[in-house]
Amino acid sequence: MSIVHSKLRNRKKILHSLPEIIKNIKLTYRQDETTIPEINVIELHLTDRCDLHCNYCSYKNHIDAETLSEKSLYNIMLFKPKAIVLAGGGEPTLFRDSHMDINGVIDFFYKRDISVGLITNGSKKLKKESYDKLKWLRVSLDASNQSEFFALKKGKFSTRLDFLRSACESECKYIGVGYLYGDHNIRTLYDACYELYNIFSSRINIQFRAVCNIQSCTCPSSNYANERFRTSDLDVFWKDEIKYLKSKLCESKYENYDYHNFILNNTNLCDVLDGNKSNSLNFEHCFTALSRWVIRANGNIYPCVMKATNKARPICNIMNLNLQEINNNLSGYYNLSAGYCNGVNSCCRLVGEVNNIVMDSVGGVLDNLDSNDYFY
Ligand SMILES: C[S@@+](CC[C@H](N)C(=O)[O-])C[C@H]1O[C@@H](n2cnc3c(N)ncnc32)[C@H](O)[C@@H]1O
Ligand code: SF4
Ligand code: SF4
């Protein structure tokens, strides 16, 4: 099985956070105003500044180029995170606040024994030792040559390749290329893998993700309503494209066995070819809100990207923490209360499936957690 499928994009890993989720559920039951919730994974948006102009960027409507303050890193530590994902908003490598830059941020968490992952467009190279300190990194290429890259993002492809080359010389174990696919490039995915394999061989992995808006997903976000980028994965046209890609993959088994194995082991192309196999969403609580937060560059804390990009109610602001407000809002999101979230009708399918996983594993038990009956 591909490392992308089994390890890097394995949503079942939310189950590692069950102990903290259970503690946080108890907090919401008790309306505790003194205990700080433990949030295992924090996606941190260091800045909203960006050098690129991706047509499909989820955050392109955020024109106010906010930058997180260095002081907020200390506040984040109060929530005892175990893993930090540096992402955006904008482009995290462009972050600078007083005397700290992205290298300083990586070092800040690394020194405190927290795993750090980085999602970047590869604008600005890191210091050599910073690459070494990363658990994983992913460069959002979404293209395999300069003309495709420029058409999508209005920037230089070679800069991103240089970033990846430096990363490949480091001790960082998992070096990924993020590759959004949709109607505009589905036919090219096999050749794109080949281009990147020729440059980086098996040192990299390639993580394909469908660009929103996805036809098979009834996305509730108005952000993508008029997009010219879409994934028409229910169309006849799409089925033909998948047939074509499958035949190319099949041929590679005989023509270039090493490359064939690269696709199977280092990419999730097979998931793209398999199509949408998702179950319907049936969760009754938002467990994500208790285990993974998004902190925007203006300090606002949200339970997910959907809420962060749709002007929802923040859980709090990292620069102005108020425990009563945090635990009250956590309870609102966890219980999918009015004014917070409509649950399955408002959720992104990818995140919703994570909620399903917890619900299916322990849902009924968690509902009765408040009971004082200890016999079994
Ligand atoms: C918003 S970017 C910020 C980090 C960095 N600037 C980058 O491009 O990697 C974070 C991730 O969101 C992805 N993304 C942006 N718009 C998207 C969309 N419409 N659908 C799916 N993913 C999207 C990007 O490809 C990237 O992997
Ligand atoms: S590089 Fe990242 S933040 Fe910048 S426009 Fe593209 S997706 Fe958005
Ligand atoms: S959209 Fe609602 S249910 Fe889905 S992750 Fe966000 S807050 Fe939770």
The per-residue pLDDT for range 62-83, each reduced to its tens digit, is 556 778 988 899 999 999 999 9
Q: Going by CA atoms, what residue is nearest to atom 5 of ligand 1?
A: 120
Atom nearest to 289 CA in ligand 3: 8
Pocket mutation for ligand 1, best pick of 43, 59, 119, 294 (most atoms within 8 Å of C-beta): 119
pLDDT, residue 26, reads 86
State whether the beta carbon of 350 lies less than 6 angstroms from ligand 3.
Answer: no
State whether the beta carbon of 349 lies less than 6 angstroms from ligand 3.
Answer: no
| Cβ-contact 224, 285 below 8 angstroms | no
Label residue 196 by pLDDT band (50, 70, 90): very high
The pTM assigned to this predicted structure is: 0.94
For tokens 């893993």, the residue is 83
pLDDT digits (tens, 9 = 90+) for 143-179: 999 999 999 999 999 999 999 999 999 999 999 999 9
pLDDT digits (tens, 9 = 90+) for 263-286: 999 999 999 998 866 668 899 999
Measured CA to CA, the distance from residue 43 to residue 37 in angstroms comes to 16
Pocket mutation for ligand 2, best pick of 45, 57, 64, 294 (most atoms within 8 Å of C-beta): 57
Measured CA to CA, the distance from residue 135 to residue 115 in angstroms comes to 6
Measured CA to CA, the distance from residue 54 to residue 66 in angstroms comes to 18
Q: Going by CA atoms, what residue is nearest to atom 14 of ligand 1?
A: 57
Atom nearest to 210 CA in ligand 1: 21
Q: What is the 3-state secondary structure (H, E, C) of 230-299?
A: CECCCCHHHHHHHHHHHHHHHHHHHHCHHHHHHHHHHECHHHHHHCCCCCCCCCCCCCHHHCEEEECCCC
What's the gap between Cα 125 and its chain centre?
21
Percent of the chain residues topping a pLDDT of 90: 72
| pLDDT (average), residues 91-96 | 94
Residue ranges of domains in the chain, CATH in brackets: 3-178+187-209+256-274 (3.20.20.70)
| Ligand 1 residue neighbourhood (C-beta within 6 Å) | 50, 56-59, 87-88, 91, 119-121, 140, 178, 180, 209, 211-212
Label residue 328 by pLDDT band (50, 70, 90): very high
The mean predicted confidence, pLDDT, of the chain is 91
Atom nearest to 59 CA in ligand 2: 8
| pLDDT (average), residues 237-244 | 96
Cα 332 to averaged position of ligand 2 atoms, centre (Å) = 31
pLDDT, residue 63, reads 58
pLDDT, residue 275, reads 80
